[in-house]
Amino acid sequence: MRFLIIVKAGAEPEAGTLPDAGLTAAMAEFHAALARDGALLDAASLTPDAEGWRIRYGEAGPRVEVGPFGEPGQRIRGYTLIQARSSDEALEWARRFPTPHGASRPAQIEVHPVLGPADPHPCRQA
């Protein structure tokens, strides 16, 4: 089973502020632990929303919008894609994820199972 750990952005990363060395080291160690366990599939940071774009679809067809998009905390700053044997194992890895904005700062991550083309989809009718 694959799971996507999504790191939500705070105000500092969106302003281009780099994480401190301690957080960078903690993330490197976390990803190294995932790799040693064979659980790490991919991980990356994203540029600030102001450097991105999105496409909205509607009756008039696709429309391109240039970032930023919404409030910090709703934006995505990075992700880690893992392979786990169960949801419980993925939850344990997520609990070990370093606090994304530093130990004393509010932050959040989200974890979602990833469905491939052959995976049963919860919205599909049997």
Of all residues in the chain, what percent carry a pLDDT higher than 90?
Answer: 54
The pLDDT, as a whole number, for residue 124 is: 58
Residue 13 DSSP SS3:
helix
Q: What is the pLDDT of residue 22?
A: 84
> What's the whole-number average pLDDT of the chain?
87
Instruction: Work out the pLDDT band at 15, boundaries 50, 70, 90.
Output: low
What CA–CA distance (Å, rounded) separates 58 from 41? 34
Q: Quick one: pLDDT at residue 5?
A: 97
Ramachandran sector of residue 16 (left: φ over 0; alpha: ψ -120 to 50; beta: rest): left
Q: State pLDDT tens for residues 59-88.
A: 999 999 998 877 766 788 899 999 999 999
